[in-house]
A and B are shown apart, each in its own frame.
Chain A
Amino acid sequence: MPGKLKAKIVAGRHLPVMDRASDLTDAFVEVKFGNTTFKTDVYHKSLNPQWNSEWFKFEVDDEDLQDEPLQITVLDHDTYSANDAIGKVYIDIDPLLCSEAASVISGWFPIYDTIHGIRGEINVLVKVELFNDLNRFRQSSCGVKFFCTTSIPRCYRAAMVHGFVEELVVNEDPEYQWIDRIRTPRASNEARQRLISLMSGELQRKIGLKVLEMGGNAVVGYLQCFDLEGESGLVVRAIGTACTLDKLSSGSAPSTNTHIHPNTAPASNACNSPSKDGKESPLAHGCRSTHNSPVHSACSSQRLSQNFSVSVPTLIFTGMGSGGSAGKDAGPLKTLLRQQTQTALEQREFPFFTLTSFPPGFLVHAGGVVSARSVKLLDRIHNPDEPETRDAWWEEIRQEIKSHAKALGCHAVVGYSESTSICEEVCILSASGTAAILNPRYMREGCLDIGSTDHRFEEPSPPSCGFCHIPYDELNMPFPAQLTYCYHCRRQKVPDVLFTTIDLPPEAAVTGKGCLIQARLCRLKKKAQGEVNATAISNLLPFMEYELHTQLMNKLKLRSMNALFGLRIQISVGENMLLGLASATGVYLTALPASGGIQIAGKTPGDLSNEHHILTIQKRINDTIAKNKELYQINPPELTEEAVGSPIPEPRQRSRLFRSHSESSDELSELDLSHGKKDAFVLEIDDTDAVEDIHSLLTDTPPPTGFYSCNTEIMPGIYNWTSGVQMFTSVRVFRLSNANLTNQGLNKIFTDLCENLLKSFYFKLRSMIPCCLCHLNVTVAVPEEELIQVAVTAVAMTFDKDQTQEKPAEKVIQKGSGEIEEQLQFPLELCADSSSTSTQQSSKISGTVSLLTPAAKLCHNQLVMVRSAGVPETSNVSSRAASVDYGSFADRCSTWLELLRLKAHTIRRGSVKTSRRTQSLAHSVSSLERGSPLPEGRSRSLRSNRSFGGSSVTVVKMTPLSFLPGTRIIKYLGIINMFFIRETTSLREEGGVSGFLHSFIAEVFAMVRAHVAALGGNAVVSYSMKECVLMENPNKNQAQCLINVSGDAVICVRETDQEPVSSSTNIGQSCSSGTDGGAT
C-alpha cells in the first residue's frame, strides 16, 4: 500500500445549460481512480456549483499511481432518466510522485467532452502521500524525472549521461474492437483516450525502471509517439536519454537568454592546450541512409551516403570499421581518449542520445547525419504482452544506424530520433541522428565535476570549431569528401559541408545569420496492395532521399552557407504518392570553407539560344546568391579582393600570431596553397531534373525584412532576445483536384503550399518585427488520397535589432566594462592556473584583459569591422567544373566538394574565444545589462503586472524551445503528455473543418495551460504537437481529430528576479515576462 491519493472537488463554473426548462444544471461529480469511484452531492440548479466536497481518498500501489490517470466526470443529475455526462477531466498525477516536482495540483480545469469540446471548468485539488517502499523488486519507478527538453534542463547539471532508453507497448485500438459497432462515438473516444493515457503511463513507468537499473534518476529528451496502426493495433513507443542529474542551487543556474552555460569557461581552458595531433582527428559531414523492405531480404538494403557516391540500387559498405577510424598517426593521448570512450560506449547496446545540445565539452566531433528507413507490412498484433515484432523492427533499424555511425568513425549517435509513417498496411519506420564522438567523462563514474576535469581528456581543439573536425580517417574516408584544414584553428581537417541533426553548439563560431532551408518533394506512385506496394515504396525511397539531399545542397549553396543543423527528413506515405520534406537550419560555420556558388552549364555548348537561356539563369542565380549574402550578413563583399588574392595575407598571419601556436605557419601555407582557386557546383540544365532543381531553388522567397526563421532552438547570429513570445500551431490541408498530375506539377503545388504557409506566418506576425521564427517544426501527411496536410508548430520571438551583431558576452563586456573589472580577476586566474604555462598562453590572456578594459568599446568596433571581412565572390569558376557530367553522382559530388574555398581567417576568432572565456562573468553581469533603464521595457512590465493582477487566469507561456527569453527556469514541475480526441457530427455548424480544428487546437492549448497552472507553473517549454490526425467526411457532416502534445511544465521567473550571486549589480528589472509583448 505504498500511496494514498487524495482528491477534493471544490467548484464548477460556466457549466452548460443541461435542463432546458430551467436554463440551469443539477451537476455532480464522479471521481475515479483505478476501480474505485466516489461521488459528490448533486448541486441543484446552478451553472456555477459549489460542491466543496470532502477529501476522496484512494489507497493504491505506486505502480497504479504511475499508470493510471485520475478521472473526473461531471454529470447532470436527472431524476427520471439516465444522468447526462457533461464532460471529463483526466489528471496525470505523475508530477506529484516526484519530490522535486509539484506537491499539489490545484486549479481550474476545462471540462472536456469529445463531442462538444470544452464545457465549463471545474476546480480540483489533488495530493499524494507516498510511503517509502523498500521492495527491491518493485515495478514502479516513482521519482524518476522526465523531460521532453533535448538538452540538460536549465536548473540541473548532468553528473552522468547513461545513454539510450527505449520501450514500446502495444494494444488493440478500441476504435477497431467489435464493441465499437454498438457503443456511442463518445464512449469509443473516451475508451481510446483512457487507453492511451494508461499506455503512456505504463510506458513511462517501464522506462523509469530501466533508468533506475542504469543508476540514473532522470530521462532527458523523452520522445513518446503513437502509431495508430488501425486494424493491427495501437503502438505507444518512447525513447530518451537516461541521465543522473544534480539540481543546481538557484545561484548557479545558468541564465537562459545567453544560452551559454557559465561552466563552459573552465572547459574552454583546454582549447589551446598544446597537443599537436592535427591530422589525427579528421571529420566530415556525410549522411548515410538505408532502406530495407520486408519483401527483400536484409542484404538488399540500399544505402546512400550524402555524397551519393553510391549508385542506386545496392551498395554495401565495406571495411569502414570503427577501429580504422582511430587514425594511424594518432597521438597517444588521443588514442587513450578514444579507447576510453569506446569502452564506455560500447558496453551499451545502442550508444544513442536523444539530446540535441550538450553540456560543454560533451560533443567532441560530429561526423554527419546517419539515417535508416525500412518499409514494413503491418499485421495484427496477436499478443499485446509480447510486442516482439515491433521491437525487432526497431532493433534492426537501430543496428543499421549504429553501423553507419561506425563507418563514419564515430562511436555514438546524437540528436537521435525515430518516426513512422503509416498508410493502410504499409509502414515506413525511420530513424536518424548525427554520428559523433563524445567526451567520455560524462559516461564514467566519478568524473562528474567539470571543474576538476582531467585535462588529458579535454579535447584538443577549440570548442568553437572542434566539433566540425572530421572523426573518420582521412585516408580511408567513408565517402569522397573534400577536406581542408579547419579555417578556425588550422590544425585539423574539416569537410566542405557538414550536415547534422543537432542544434548549433552555442560555442560554435558562426559568420552571419542562419536561415531555414527546406527541401520538398512529391513522388507519385501506383496504388497497390501488400508486398507489391511495399516494394514500390522501398524502391522510391532512395531516389527521394537523393533528390531531397540535392535540393538541400543547392539551397545551401544558394545562401552561401556550409552547414545544416537540426536536419529532419520526413517521408510520408499515402495511397498514391510519397511526400518528402527536409527541414534544417543553414549556417555559415567559420571553421568550414566557403561555398563556391552554383554554375549552370548546358549540354550543347554550340546552341546560341540555349546559351542565352543559360546565361539568364546563371545571372539570376548569381544575383540570388549575392542578395542572400547580404540578407544573412555572410561576408559583405568589401574584403573580397584580399581574400581571393594572396593565400596568406600578412595581417591575417599576424592575427594568428596573436593566437599563436608553434606549428601554425607551416600548416598555413600548405593549406592556403592547396586552395588557390575556387570551384562552383555545376548544374546542367539539359537535364529535366536540373531544370526542376533550378526552379525550386529560385522560387523560394526570402522572408520579408525583419524576419528570420530557423528550425533549431536558437537562431545562429541572433543573441539578444527580448521577451515577446508567440507560440503557434498552424495546419493546412490541400486538396488536389486534378487527377492527372505529374511529379513536377505535384512538386510545384507542394512547394507553393509550404512557401505560402511561411508567408502567412510572416504576415500574421508582422507586428512582432524584428522577430525570428524558431523551432519551426513542419510535419507533412497524406491523410487521404488527394489530400496533403502540413502542420507547423513554432515560436516567434522578438529580439533587439540594434545589437544583433554581437554575441552576448561581447555586448556585456562593452557595456559593463567598468564595473566588471574586479570580478574579472577570478576567471583569469583560473585560466592561468589550469592551463599549461606556455608563453602563448599568457599572451592570449593578456589579449583577454585588453578586451575587458574600458577601451573595450574601441576594440569592439574594430572587431566588428574585421568580422565583416568577406569570402570572395565566386568570380573565377574553374573551367574544369563545366565539363562534369551531371548524370554521374560521384562526379557531381566531388564537384561540390571542391567548391568551398578558403575564407579569411579573422581576428574575430580571438574575440569570440575571449568572450567565452569570460562568460561566467557575462552571466553575472547580464542582469546589469538588462537592468539598463529602458523606459519602454519598464513601462511595459509595469503595465503588464498591473493588468494581470486583475485576471483570475494564470498566464501560461508556451514554447517549443527549452527556454523562454528573459526568464530563468527555477523549477521543472513534470512532463505534460496529453492525448485528446474530438469528434463532431455537426461539421457545418461548427464552421466546417477549419472551424472544427481551430476550436480543437485552441481547446488543447487551453487544457495544457490549465494543467500547467494547476501544477503551479507558468510556462511550458519544449512543447510539441506530435500527432495531429484529422479525418473528415463532409458528406456525412462529420469529422474526427486526434491530437497528442507534450512538453515540460516549469516555473520561470524574470531573469532579474531573485538574482543570484551578483545581486549587487542588479539595478532593476526591465524585462517583462508577463506579457506576450508583440502579439496582436
Chain B
Amino acid sequence: MAVELDVFVGNTTIMDEEVYQLWLDGYTVNDAVKVRMEGGVLEECETSADVLLSDTMDQYRTFQMCERLLHSPAKLANQLLFQIPPHRQAILIERYYAFDDAFVREVLGKKLSKGTKKDLDDISAKTTVTLKSCRRQFDNFKRVLKVVEELKGPLVENIRQHFLLSDKLARDYAAIVFFANNRFETGKRKLQYLTFQDFAFCAGQLINNWTVGAVGEPVDHQRSSRVYMDVDLDKEFLQELKELKILITDKDLLDQHKSLVCTALRGKTKAFNEMEANFKNLSRGLVNIAAKLTNTKDVRDFFIDLVEKFIEPCRSDRWTAADMRLYLTHYTNSAHILDTFKHQVVWDRYMGVIKSCIFKMYHD
C-alpha cells in the first residue's frame, strides 16, 4: 500500500521559504523532512510526518520545475506557467543566486571550467557545503560570466539587469566574474585569512578605478567591444604605471618623499620609528607592484604581492589600522608635493585603489 501519486498545484504557486532554502542547500527530500521535523513544525501545526513528506516532495518538484526559469530570471517575470507574485519572484531569484562565502572563497580567481568543476567534490568535502549546492553555485558563476563577458557597459549594472539581482548580490557577482576573468590568486596560504567580502571590496575598487569602463564613455568607438568592458584592467593605465618607478629609482626623489612623509608623521604614532626605518622597503614594494602589472602573471599575484610586500612587514611591526591609514594617506599625499614627480594622475588612480584595498585587507 503506497501513495502512488501525490500532487498539489495552486493557482498562485505555493512556496515555503524554509523548504526552498533546504532545497538550495542540496538536502535530499528525506533529509529536508528530518530538518523540518527537528524544527518543531509537527507540533506547531498539529500534523504528521506523512504530511510533511508529501509537502516537501511537492515543493521540491515545484522548485525543480522553476529551476529552468531561474537560469534566465528575466523569463520568470513573463512566463505563464507559474503565477508567482513579483516580490516572491525576487526572493526566489535572490536566494537561488546567493552563495556560501566558504564555497566562493575556494573557487575565487579560479578558471570557471570543467576542470574546476571536477574539483567540486573536494571543495564540498572541505567546506561542508553539499555537492549539489556547490554545483548550483558554480553553475551560477559560470552562467553569469558567460552572459556578461559578451556585454558592453558597466559590469554590475549588466549583472543586475540580466539576472534581476539586488545591488549587493550583483556587486558580489561582479567581483566573482572579475576575479575569474583575471585569475587573481587567492588560494595561497598567506591569503587564507582574507574573506570573500575583503576580496569583493577590492574587486569593486579595481572595477571602479582600474578598468576601461571606469574612465567613463569610451573615446574611440572603433575599438573592439571587449576593451570597453569592466571585466578587464585598462591596459593603457597599466603601461602608464611603469612611469611610477621613478619614485624608487630616483634616489633624490625617494629621499625627498621619505622626509616629507616622516615630517608629517612625526609624533603622531607610536610606530613612527618602524615607519621611518621601513619607508624605502615599503615604497619599493608598492611601486614595484605597480610597475609589474603589465605582466598577466603579476596581475594574478597582485594580492599576494600586496600581502608579502606591504601588509606582512607592517604587521610584524605591529602597526595598528589607524597607523596604516595615517601612513598611506601621507605617503600618497606627499607625492604631490614632489616637484619632479609628473605622474600625479596615474599616482592617484593607483594609490586610491591600493589604499582602500590595504585598509580592507589589513586586519589587526
Query: How far is it, in angstroms, between the C-alpha of A728 and the C-alpha of B58 when the chains are bound?
Result: 13
- Measured between beta carbons, the chain A residues less than 8 angstroms from B85 are 944, 947-948, 955, 1075-1076, 1079
Interface string of B28-56 (1 = CB under 8 A from A): 00000000000000000111101110110
Interface of chain A residues 724 through 740 with chain B (CB within 8 A): 726-738
B78/A728 in contact, CB under 8 A:
no
Query: How far is it, in angstroms, between the C-alpha of A1005 and the C-alpha of B10 when the chains are bound?
Result: 9
In the complex, B2 has a CB within 8 A of chain A: yes
Binds B, one of A64-72, A277-285, A391-399, A989-997: A989-997
B4/A734 in contact, CB under 8 A:
yes
- Measured between beta carbons, the chain B residues less than 8 angstroms from A121 are 80
With CB as the reference atom, state the residue of chain A lying closest to B47.
Answer: A763
In the complex, B15 has a CB within 8 A of chain A: yes
- Measured between beta carbons, the chain A residues less than 8 angstroms from B54 are 756, 760
A1080/B17 in contact, CB under 8 A:
yes
Interface string of B63-90 (1 = CB under 8 A from A): 0110000000001011111110111000
- Measured between beta carbons, the chain B residues less than 8 angstroms from A787 are 4
Query: How far is it, in angstroms, between the C-alpha of A994 and the C-alpha of B5 when the chains are bound?
Result: 5
B50/A1005 in contact, CB under 8 A:
no
Q: How large is the interface on B (under 10, 10 to 19, 20 to 34, 35 or more residues)?
A: 35 or more
Query: How far is it, in angstroms, between the C-alpha of A731 and the C-alpha of B61 when the chains are bound?
Result: 14
Known: A121-B80, A1002-B81. A762 touches B5 (CB 8 A): no
A994/B8 in contact, CB under 8 A:
no
- Measured between beta carbons, the chain B residues less than 8 angstroms from A1005 are 9, 11, 83
B7/A1079 in contact, CB under 8 A:
no
In the complex, B220 has a CB within 8 A of chain A: no
Known: A735-B1, A738-B1. A995 touches B61 (CB 8 A): yes
The smallest C-beta distance from A235 to any residue of chain B, in angstroms, reads: 27
Question: In the complex, which of the residues B8, B16, B81 contacts A1006, with contact meaning CB atoms closer than 8 Å?
Answer: B81
A732/B5 in contact, CB under 8 A:
yes
In the complex, A609 has a CB within 8 A of chain B: no
- Measured between beta carbons, the chain B residues less than 8 angstroms from A943 are 87
With CB as the reference atom, state the residue of chain A lying closest to B77.
Answer: A951
The smallest C-beta distance from A503 to any residue of chain B, in angstroms, reads: 22
B82/A737 in contact, CB under 8 A:
no
With CB as the reference atom, state the residue of chain A lying closest to B64.
Answer: A991
With CB as the reference atom, state the residue of chain B lying closest to A703.
Answer: B46
The smallest C-beta distance from A34 to any residue of chain B, in angstroms, reads: 28
In the complex, A759 has a CB within 8 A of chain B: yes
Known: A733-B4, A998-B62. A1003 touches B11 (CB 8 A): no
- Measured between beta carbons, the chain A residues less than 8 angstroms from B125 are none
Interface string of A629-650 (1 = CB under 8 A from B): 0000000000000000000000
With CB as the reference atom, state the residue of chain B lying closest to A953.
Answer: B78
A994/B80 in contact, CB under 8 A:
no
Interface of chain A residues 897 through 932 with chain B (CB within 8 A): none
Interface of chain A residues 97 through 143 with chain B (CB within 8 A): 108, 110, 118, 121
- Measured between beta carbons, the chain A residues less than 8 angstroms from B83 are 953, 955-956, 1005-1006, 1009, 1076
- Measured between beta carbons, the chain B residues less than 8 angstroms from A1002 are 9, 13, 65, 81-82
Question: In the complex, which of the residues B11, B15, B82 contacts A1080, with contact meaning CB atoms closer than 8 Å?
Answer: B15
B9/A1001 in contact, CB under 8 A:
yes
- Measured between beta carbons, the chain B residues less than 8 angstroms from A993 are 4-5
A756/B50 in contact, CB under 8 A:
yes
Interface of chain A residues 976 through 1007 with chain B (CB within 8 A): 991-995, 997-999, 1001-1003, 1005-1006
B55/A1001 in contact, CB under 8 A:
no
A726/B11 in contact, CB under 8 A:
yes
In the complex, B264 has a CB within 8 A of chain A: no
Query: How far is it, in angstroms, between the C-alpha of A121 and the C-alpha of B78 when the chains are bound?
Result: 10
Interface of chain A residues 940 through 993 with chain B (CB within 8 A): 943-944, 947-948, 950-953, 955-958, 991-993
Known: A763-B55, A953-B80, A955-B83. A994 touches B7 (CB 8 A): yes
The smallest C-beta distance from A113 to any residue of chain B, in angstroms, reads: 14
A764/B55 in contact, CB under 8 A:
yes
In the complex, A1030 has a CB within 8 A of chain B: yes
In the complex, A1010 has a CB within 8 A of chain B: yes
In the complex, A766 has a CB within 8 A of chain B: yes
Query: How far is it, in angstroms, between the C-alpha of A947 and the C-alpha of B87 when the chains are bound?
Result: 7
B77/A952 in contact, CB under 8 A:
yes
A13/B78 in contact, CB under 8 A:
yes
- Measured between beta carbons, the chain B residues less than 8 angstroms from A761 are 8
B77/A766 in contact, CB under 8 A:
no
In the complex, A749 has a CB within 8 A of chain B: yes
Query: How far is it, in angstroms, between the C-alpha of A532 and the C-alpha of B345 when the chains are bound?
Result: 101
Interface string of B295-321 (1 = CB under 8 A from A): 000000000000000000000000000
- Measured between beta carbons, the chain B residues less than 8 angstroms from A1003 are 81
Known: A118-B80, A763-B52. A994 touches B46 (CB 8 A): no
Known: A737-B1, A994-B5. A999 touches B78 (CB 8 A): no
In the complex, B57 has a CB within 8 A of chain A: yes
In the complex, A704 has a CB within 8 A of chain B: yes
Q: Which of B10, B62, B85 has the most chain A CB atoms inside 10 A of its CB?
A: B10
Question: In the complex, which of the residues A729, A736, A760, A951 contacts B9, with contact meaning CB atoms closer than 8 Å?
Answer: A729
B64/A735 in contact, CB under 8 A:
no
B11/A1076 in contact, CB under 8 A:
yes
Known: A763-B45, A998-B65, A1010-B80. A1076 touches B12 (CB 8 A): yes
In the complex, A619 has a CB within 8 A of chain B: no
Query: How far is it, in angstroms, between the C-alpha of A948 and the C-alpha of B83 when the chains are bound?
Result: 12
Query: How far is it, in angstroms, between the C-alpha of A1080 and the C-alpha of B4 when the chains are bound?
Result: 26
With CB as the reference atom, state the residue of chain B lying closest to A704.
Answer: B46
In the complex, A14 has a CB within 8 A of chain B: yes
Interface string of A1047-1080 (1 = CB under 8 A from B): 0000000000000000000000000000110011
The smallest C-beta distance from A739 to any residue of chain B, in angstroms, reads: 11
In the complex, B250 has a CB within 8 A of chain A: no
A951/B4 in contact, CB under 8 A:
no
B3/A734 in contact, CB under 8 A:
yes
The smallest C-beta distance from B27 to any residue of chain A, in angstroms, reads: 18
- Measured between beta carbons, the chain B residues less than 8 angstroms from A763 are 45, 47, 51-52, 55
Query: How far is it, in angstroms, between the C-alpha of A952 and the C-alpha of B13 when the chains are bound?
Result: 17
B57/A728 in contact, CB under 8 A:
no
The smallest C-beta distance from B160 to any residue of chain A, in angstroms, reads: 14
Known: A14-B79, A108-B80. A727 touches B2 (CB 8 A): no
Query: How far is it, in angstroms, between the C-alpha of A787 and the C-alpha of B3 when the chains are bound?
Result: 9
In the complex, B119 has a CB within 8 A of chain A: no
A110/B80 in contact, CB under 8 A:
yes
Query: How far is it, in angstroms, between the C-alpha of A181 and the C-alpha of B51 when the chains are bound?
Result: 43
The smallest C-beta distance from A1010 to any residue of chain B, in angstroms, reads: 5
Query: How far is it, in angstroms, between the C-alpha of A994 and the C-alpha of B10 when the chains are bound?
Result: 15
B3/A1009 in contact, CB under 8 A:
no
- Measured between beta carbons, the chain B residues less than 8 angstroms from A749 are 1
The smallest C-beta distance from A14 to any residue of chain B, in angstroms, reads: 6
B81/A764 in contact, CB under 8 A:
no
Interface of chain B residues 234 through 272 with chain A (CB within 8 A): none
With CB as the reference atom, state the residue of chain B lying closest to A1010.
Answer: B80
Query: How far is it, in angstroms, between the C-alpha of A110 and the C-alpha of B17 when the chains are bound?
Result: 28
The smallest C-beta distance from B171 to any residue of chain A, in angstroms, reads: 22
- Measured between beta carbons, the chain A residues less than 8 angstroms from B87 are 943, 947
Question: In the complex, which of the residues B1, B62, B78, B82 contacts A952, with contact meaning CB atoms closer than 8 Å?
Answer: B78
- Measured between beta carbons, the chain A residues less than 8 angstroms from B57 are 994
In the complex, B6 has a CB within 8 A of chain A: yes
B80/A728 in contact, CB under 8 A:
no
With CB as the reference atom, state the residue of chain B lying closest to A701.
Answer: B46
The smallest C-beta distance from A667 to any residue of chain B, in angstroms, reads: 47
A759/B80 in contact, CB under 8 A:
no
- Measured between beta carbons, the chain B residues less than 8 angstroms from A734 are 1-4
For the complex of A and B, 7 pairs with smallest distance between CB atoms: A947-B86, A733-B5, A1076-B12, A727-B11, A1001-B9, A728-B10, A1079-B12
A-B contacts, 15 listed (Cβ < 8 Å): A732-B5, A732-B6, A733-B5, A735-B4, A756-B50, A756-B51, A947-B85, A952-B78, A997-B5, A1002-B9, A1002-B65, A1002-B81, A1003-B81, A1006-B81, A1080-B17
Given contacts A704-B46, A726-B10, A733-B6, 5 further A-B contacts (CB under 8 A): A733-B3, A736-B1, A951-B77, A957-B11, A1005-B11
